[in-house]
Amino acid sequence: MNITTQNTGDGILIQVEGRIDTTNYNEFESAVNEVLKDDVKQIYLDCNGLNYISSSGLRIFLTVQKKMMAVGGKLKLFAMQPAIKEIFDISGFSSIFSIYPDMDAAKQG
Amino acid sequence: MEGTPKNKTLIIRNDIDELNRLVMFLEILEEEWNLPPALVPSLNLALEEALSNIIFYAFEKGSENEISIDFSLKGTEMTIILTDGGKPYDPTKKEDPNINLPAEDRPIGGLGVFLIKKIMNEVTYNRVDNKNQMTMVKRWN
């Protein structure tokens, strides 16, 4: 897994590549917690390079969503691969996350 | 040739990093058995959910145990049998989460077994010779 973060002016962009599974989800969790520390109001999560996720990863997505909602912030996911979107659909996650086709759409949404 | 089942077994220890061996094993299986590309990630997910439950909860902490994973392919049907000598646990009895709840009310976790049931066509459990045996069947076109 590879995680990069950058400031977009109106929030933070997180790019995650590779797999989020039971063996490495804590790396993703730490990176995200680092971003959340700074009272961020908008997180853009680029899922383009994410090619595998298990329930260990899904629980972090949900945790971040809950935290952002609690502070009136927004978590926006974009560029999700179809196989990952399918897992979000199965889990009922597609209706509780804002998922956009690309960064531009996420910015406007 | 389609009538002859192909069989392969992977044995892992009750260590979560062994899931990385599973990933490699599935890559080899995909190539050797010429499996459809979309199949392996699904099997990987169902297996990870089942195996992580076994690794985290079936055994005494610090004990070393083995879990065997038997793969059998017949035509377009794959049967996977997980066998472990841990505490009796029937994952098929686990209640499905309510996936229609809004984010605020969704509990963190509880999705693993549900994902297995959604991915696989059949999931059954048996306690055989003091061992847990979970059988999962996946069919495709």
User: Given this model, what pLDDT does residue B34 score?
Assistant: 96
Residue A33 pLDDT more than 70?
A: yes
State pLDDT tens for residues B26-53: 999 999 999 999 999 999 999 999 999 9
On whether any CB of chain B is under 8 Å from the CB of A54, the answer is: yes
ipTM of the complex: 0.94
Which of B40, B106, B114, B116 is the best residue to mutate to test the A interface, defined by the most A CB atoms within 10 Å of its own CB? B106
Residue B140 pLDDT more than 90?
A: yes
Query: Domain B6-139 class?
Result: alpha beta
State pLDDT tens for residues A45-78: 999 999 999 999 999 999 999 999 999 999 999 9
On whether any CB of chain A is under 8 Å from the CB of B114, the answer is: yes
SS3 content of chain B, % helix, strand, coil (to 5): 35, 30, 35
User: Given this model, what pLDDT does residue B23 score?
Assistant: 97
Contact indicator for B114, B106 with CB cutoff of 8 Å? no
User: Given this model, what pLDDT does residue B2 score?
Assistant: 59
> Could you list the residue range(s) of the whole structural domain that residue A38 is in?
2-108
* A52 contacts: CB under 8 Å, gap ≥ 6: A18, A19, A20, A21, A84, B41, B44, B45
On whether any CB of chain A is under 8 Å from the CB of B94, the answer is: no
Provide the domain count of chain A: 1
Nearest C-alpha in B relative to A69: B104
Q: What is the CATH number of the domain that holds A59?
A: 3.30.750.24
